[in-house]
Amino acid sequence: MPPSDTRTGNRERAILEDCQEAIGYRFKKPELLRAALTHTSSANTRAASNERLEFLGDSVLGLVTCEQLFQRFPEYQEGDLTKVKSVVVSRKTCARFSQELGLGDFLFLGKGVQTYGEMPSNMLADVFESLVAAIFLDGGWDAAKAFILEFIEPEIERVARDAISANAKSQLQTVTQRQYGDTPRYFLLDEQGPDHDKCFKVAAQVSHERFPAAWGRTKKEAELKAAMNALAHLNGESLPFPSD
């Protein structure tokens, strides 16, 4: 074997070894990992690139996510589940997962697309989905699911929490119309800080009853937190946000 081929082979083995260390999974068939890291620009044929794996990985990722959402949010209807899923497994989110693993450092790229600086997000998203497929083919459903859950579980919690917060005002309106026959209004009680870094204190009020206030970095955020405080007060729960 010519020295150049030997050096290339050693370099590839080192990249695959480092990648397995980074992702916390060891392949029984390293050629699957090699395929997942192969961009079309460095493949002899399109079939030898990670495009086919990307197709499969997208489906595996989606199925694991759908299963988790279906089990964890029994009160959600199809539309709500679809909205959460679209955020959890969006291309932007997959690119971020890829960045967290440093997958861009392990990609096999053709000379014409060598990147200097930040790698395009679409390439990062592609390689994450391809990696999911490679793990699925190498280790089966359980291995792929365990790998995926490390990333999507915190994401599901974040998205669900944001959805609940964003819906707090409409929830409060429903509750107050039922209990008071009136809709809540929001009052700005105080604002502090310089113009470029203000905080706002807002309270929700229904009829003559004013609920515990909350602070936010924007008026909209303060209103959402005030609504959540009002809901907690009405339910006899501890306030999620300090009022002072």
Residues marked as catalytic? 58, 129
Q: What distance in Å separates the CA atoms of residue 80 and residue 60, rounded to the nearest whole number?
A: 20
Q: Determine the straight-line distance between the first and last CA of the chain, rounded to whole angstroms.
A: 74
**Would you say 127 and 98 are in contact if contact means Cβ atoms under 8 Å apart?**
yes
Amino acid at 18: D
**Would you say 219 and 200 are in contact if contact means Cβ atoms under 8 Å apart?**
yes
Task: Tokens for 130, please give them.
Answer: 């391809």
Identify the residue whose tokens are 């490679």: 134
Buried b (16+ CB within 10 A) or exposed e, 152-180: beebbeebbeebeeeebbeebbebbeeee
Q: What distance in Å separates the CA atoms of residue 234 and residue 184, rounded to the nearest whole number?
A: 13
